[in-house]
Chain A
Amino acid sequence: MAEPMLQVRQLTKRFGGLTAVDRVDLEVYPGEVVGLLGDNGAGKSTLIKMVSGVYHPDGGQIFFQGREIRLGSPIDALELGIETLYQDLALAENLNVYANIFLGRERTKPFLGFIQVLDHASMHEESKKVLKRLEIEIPSLQSHIKTLSGGQRQAVAIGRSIYWNARLLILDEPTAALGVQEQRKVLDLVRVLRSQNIPIIVISHQLFDIFSVTDRLVIMRRGKKVAERLTKDTTPDEVVGLIIGSEEVEL
């Protein structure tokens, strides 16, 4: 098997007296979709926040494309190509669609030779292209996020994560706020990206979604990784059992 794109070894995170993530090992290979499952408080969000640079690990190592990395801040992760779609979307309501897609990485053009001014036109263009690629309908890219529906916001957030040519994509509850149609679109998108060999980690409570797009499942409980299964070798019932702990721990 090829080298894993992402590998975390014995990754640990503590908050005060609480160990949120306890010596977790995880690999993600190019072209595969890994589902990260667990009940509330299992540590899934905390784990991926360490991979995306929001939290600093208290123990363990992170390897990306074979090399160990230290993420000082989210920008480090973004520069490596690790894009994260957060559960709360992390959109700025007071800015418009393309401003959000380019948030933190705005395009500029020179003004009077030396001042860098925002290049609205090109950001608008590029955003239009990426949203079209996703077949997402948003009437005006200049409308503020505030005015968009839940599904449209999700679309913008997804657009942002895929625009930047992610080498690793992390999706935290991507179908949470969506209607059935839109959920399906998101899942199609995930399959498209997988076919482009981009590895994806999906966190979700929707077992139906998990079973329809993932190749492998990793289950966490109370900070520890308790099981790993190939999706095709397991069933929803078994998975639920592992999540809530009614089955024996088995790695």
Chain B
Amino acid sequence: MPEASVPVYRKNFRPVRWLGRNWAVLFLLLELAAFGLFGTNFFSPENLQNILVACLPVLLLAMGETFVIITGGIDLSIGFVMGFATVICAKFMLLLQAAGLPPGASIPLAALICLAIGLIPGLINGTLVARLKVPPFLATFGLYGIAYGFSEIISKNTPISGLPPIAGQIGNEYFFYIVPGKAVSFLVKPQDLIPEQMRSMISVLPILVVIFFVFVAIFAFMLKRTRFGQHTYAIGGNMDAAVRSGINVPAHLTWIYVISAFFASLSGVMFVLKYVTGRADAGSARMLDSVVAVVIGGASLYGGTGTVKGTIIGALIIATLETGMVNLLIPSHNRYIAIGVILVLAVLIDQFFPELVGRGE
């Protein structure tokens, strides 16, 4: 367990404690302020909503990872399960379309099938970890390779295309469009606008954000307020105690990994809707980000702590960084450096204020 090495009197100093507990939010605000200052139009409604959309892939992956990390485990397969999901979802969309189904049916159906199939890696992970006592790191690491292999094979290493364009519409459009002074239209862009009106049009509430935030909210509720959530924390806190208190730990852990795979698949469906394609490496860059988001959010890799709220802030920090960098025209490979640094900072802060972080309840 991490030891506190800062002298006691300094730690108990009120402002320091407050800082330690809320540093993530402060950092986010700082980021927003900095980009707002140096960027162009950073605070426009478009851009702010872009941040929300940008944080979705990481957030969804990080949601599943949050549950897993709280139990003291880790899921390294999510990146490639996500890729696997995009490939399956895209393939089924094509199949159903070819079978003659209208997009209104083929898209949701493909999504459902993809989510269902996406549970399988979770089951495998869960069984390996919970019943065969394979360390989570290795089990999910192994599965990561397996998932990647399968997705590459199914997609034959090329991105899948030819999907119904409506998918892209869902993925890229908004709930409301407001043309100041003229009209508010729902779900569909207003037609027959003169260029001037088009420029002043404000889009509100990206559809993707609404749909997927619902899932986030549901699971956040589950983690915080139900027995299932409580048991998740208990297992992470002291697995023996959980076992002896009668909690069915193997079953519970299996559920946890299924949830993680579920969110990875969800993220895959989201990817297909946004980019109208399926590719095996869709999630490969995201694994790092999602773990960072969870750790920034206050979870400890030893388990027992972490919240969805924290994870959301972590995801927002990363998304703000990305969006801001695009805004400032900074080349994208710097993001890796930045995120790596933030990750280490997050953990260092946790080291120095161990008892302040970890808002388990």
Contacts and interface: CB of A to CB of B under 8 A. Distances in A.
* A touches B (Cβ under 8 A): yes
B246 A106 contact: no
Contact of B238 (A54, A93, A96): A93
Given A104-B245, A105-B245, A90 B304 contact: no
Nearest to B302: A94
A118 B230 contact: yes
B187 interface: no
Interface in A151-207: none
Nearest to A115: B226
A75 B238 contact: no
Interface string B230-260: 1101101110111111111000000000000
Contacts of B229: 118
Given A95-B360, A104-B231, A144-B360, A75 B248 contact: yes
Given A92-B233, A108-B227, A117-B226, A146 B355 contact: yes
A72 to B, nearest CB: 10
A93 B236 CA distance: 10
Contact of A99 (B225, B230, B236, B246): B230
B268 interface: no
Given A94-B236, A94-B358, A74 B245 contact: yes
B233 A54 contact: no
B305 interface: yes
A105 to B, nearest CB: 7
Contacts of A144: 360
Given A103-B234, A104-B231, A90 B358 contact: no
Interface string B155-171: 00000000000000000
A214 interface: no
Given A94-B233, A94-B304, A94-B305, A104 B242 contact: yes
Q: Chain A: interface residue count, which band?
A: 20 to 34
Interface string B331-361: 0000000000000000000000001001011
B246 A75 contact: yes
Contact of A90 (B236, B241, B248): B241
A92 B241 contact: yes
A2 to B, nearest CB: 29
Contacts of A75: 246-248
B227 to A, nearest CB: 5
B246 A74 contact: yes
- Residue of A104, A105, A147 with most chain B CB atoms under a 10 A cut-off: A104
Contacts of B231: 104
Contacts of A94: 233, 236-237, 304-305, 358, 360
A234 interface: no
A73 B248 contact: yes
A10 interface: no
15 contacts: A54-B244, A74-B243, A74-B244, A75-B247, A86-B244, A90-B238, A90-B241, A92-B242, A92-B304, A94-B233, A103-B234, A103-B247, A104-B242, A116-B226, A144-B360
Interface of B: 225-227, 229-231, 233-234, 236-238, 240-248, 304-305, 355, 358, 360-361
Interface of A: 52, 54, 73-75, 78-79, 84, 86, 88-96, 99-100, 103-106, 108, 111, 115-118, 142, 144, 146-147
Given A90-B240, A104-B242, 5 more contacts: A86-B244, A92-B233, A94-B237, A105-B245, A147-B355
